[in-house]
Structure 1
């Protein structure tokens, strides 16, 4: 088959998304025409953050879990089925795609447990998921393959899923993609429908739990049809295991450290070269019918642990029996992060964002990975061995960082202590005032630090780490400004409200000219604490009347460039009205 340059580029982009750079092996007319007896089915479930949306008071993900569980429980695995999910582990990560099981592996209960554990949090990489589903099911070898996508929205990773499946369809006429659009609008409907119609697949639109169940049932009938109107749907049971397909001809293995045990073949994505030519790209399971069989010898490889940033390059040796000798050392480990937010032991944050930065020779590099707690679940991040700076943020306000040395084969846990309190100041002009001040600007300064934690305008509440702070309150009016600092202590779980008394006086002023001319500027002069003279504490341009604020004591007004006027005194608890007429 001859592909046009645009289609070749698109296919290359699909495979490179997973560290792959070519087809699993060369295709010829005979292979493309192959027609295995059984169709292979891959279910792809949307685990992106939008699945928290509700229908009739129930989260869409909850409805999908129930429906998918029923499907798996009833499935007759004489038709091989696999399961993929996306967007369910990390926020803002277009590579967050997980193969739960390739078709023919695992057992029914494991499928169900994995579906039930999904906690939506991320993006919607539909195109990349379809590409990986095609690779993992052997769709590029001419097999009969059906991919069933359940999604509630549009692609969010700048790819075109409709073009993606069109490329696969041109390579394999036996490939179909079916789509169930769950609670989608018209724009989403058009994009998702294109995926199905471009491949001869079925599209179903479901707007509630019952319609989703019916759509799943109808889709299953299509993918299990043997061509004579007979289906294998609905003949499974909870206890019957998923039958495996023919034993693999080769299994590729990685390990976390030199002395560690081998990892499972499905835990690692491989890119294998033989004499500089692409030989295999994908998971470490190769079957007898696959074109890219492994002869004895040495192969150059790049291996990626799961979909993480833990990547290793090296060589593997295949023995005379076609099996790998030893395992590739990925030199990697994992860091599991928690963030304590209350006095209760291990009460972790509902949502916490972690970022990882390599530290080399004391220099901190760019961010290479991120992880996310969702609903208190731990965040596990796989990385190559080394030193990392790890930062954490809860709600964008409470932050912390540390450095962790990760050795190969280690699984390190680190708990950030972000137990916090809140600051919600109640501010009063003076000790006798009964009404709070409703204007001003607030700033927190950690004790002994020049850094500051901005709160903003009065009335805002701020979540902060426990500790001692200076709370600075700045009050400004048309004329004048008063600021004062208050030492405070924030304790875990407590809210600091005050009261905070400013010892300030509000006054009104009204300046006019005898000739009716404009008053261009009014300056407030306040007496120094040591009584050595007066200093400027406020200026109002073009405001001959308004409200002023100042500390109690002696003050003067200066109009324009004229000499200062007579002294007036401000007394706590009073609100004088100063009326002046000038020549």
Structure 2
């Protein structure tokens, strides 16, 4: 069934681009990147099916078609504003779109109504003919009304159409968003089962019938031909001779048994429970799944179905990455599988993968935590395993005063091991920027350093496996804002002079205005002017949690 899921998504998208007038319009594809796309169809995440379908279909799109790409739910959890036009409509955008889809994280909500509205506006739908193709596996979760939006866009647009692909939705769920397509004159396609796949493939792949030619004169009756079977090759791959069929995709290719062999072009290909009809002759059949591969020569005739068994000599791994025992799978955890002859690194959260028999090393990385295990795997072995990274989470915020206002801009974090080295320095573990920064860390003692403009401070904290630790750092600081018309720049010094009569410079800026966060205390502002006007010194005091404003003339 996984073959049908992958091909289904590709067929549906191709259907959207051909049947829906894709080539005639500027088009924006909207991909649902919400967290529900991690759900699987026959053991394969929907998001992987969608990525591979985009890659497959876009290769066949003419280079001068103007296609854009938008996603929602790919940057923030729980946000209804997380909508982004990643690739503007342009010719030759296939590579940019597939690269963008491959880099998406799937973790947010489903603001599909707002996304369609933004895509329509990006296409200038009130001025030009425009088409939006929405691929969603969920319903609106941000209060939008897709039915009302469809009517609005149709009424105000020049020639606007929204086509909707319900990826894995039930029939009842599909009815709730089909109105978006129907109210714009578009189509809604239910992408949920093998039958729908077959119908979509027929509709999108089969070439239109040519206009009937004049009837030729009756030809002589053909000589009787030997009866042919519908399929003369039925391949099937196994983990070992007489063992199990892999529960993830197996890809089959059929090559002519000639001088080029598997180095040449294949004559046919397909996934899983596929059947082939190829001309009689000698062939090489190759089966591959994950990192395992097998090939076998076969001679085929037109009147006989040959069932071919291919031995992958492999094991099947199912890995689930968890930060702590009993915790949910963490979709940010990277899973790397090093198997005989190769490595697979593009796996996150959990993965099913087939590897050749032998030594395989699985490494899971989550933030600064890492866990690995080396396994000796036998052909036919099926392993279902939780990999525990053993980390806790720390969430960091900086406040101007204890219990006061939170710092929101120019916040930089560095996390160090608490223990100092012989030279007094500490090893840096990781870093981040912004408020509510989160870190996955192994258990132990740490020191976090924070920089907010001209203020720097540190605070120790500890991490326990499986627990969230809130690290709230008090800056004991305020904000200074300066307005000095005609100024060229500023320098701020501590008010207190050292024993040599010199002040320590704290920060500086250029122009007529500046704003900076400063630790509470007394300072001197030196204003430099662009004219012959002399520099001006202005003493001031910053109070924790307060804003100070200076006007220098």
Q: Could you state the TM-score of these two structures normalised by the residue count of structure 1?
A: 0.44
Higher strand fraction (1 or 2): 2
Q: Which structure has the greater CA radius of gyration? A: 1
